[in-house]
Amino acid sequence: MNSNTAVRNLGIGLTVTGLILLVGYALYDIFTTESSLILKISITAIVAGIGLVLLILIKEKMSVKDKEIERRY
């Protein structure tokens, strides 16, 4: 693993960690304040749906090999 890959992975890790903390705090804040049940359920469903789609896309991207033909000029 070279230096660029390590720095890229570190950046991705920090970004994902920050996003998880931010979403976690937002969900905690929503569920601890007085608001309607419909609002709580809808926000939870939206966050869960986005998370599920992202996980599926990451899994698909990791499993599918790149099939582009090498071009020779």
28-66 residue pLDDT tens: 888 888 888 898 889 889 988 988 998 898 888 887 666
Rounded Cα distance between 35 and 37, Å, is 7
**69: in domain:** no
Query: What is the identity of the amino acid at 58?
Result: I
Q: Which domain holds residue 35?
A: 24-62
**14: in domain:** no
Inter-CA distances, 61 with 22, 44, 58, 64, 68, Å: 25, 26, 5, 6, 14
Q: What is the pLDDT of residue 66?
A: 64
**12: in domain:** no
Which pTM was predicted? Answer: 0.60
Residue 42 burial (10 A CB sphere; 0-12, 13-18, 19+): exposed
Do 30 and 43 contact (CB within 8 A), yes or no? Answer: yes
Looking at the structure of the chain, the number of domains it has is 1
**67: in domain:** no
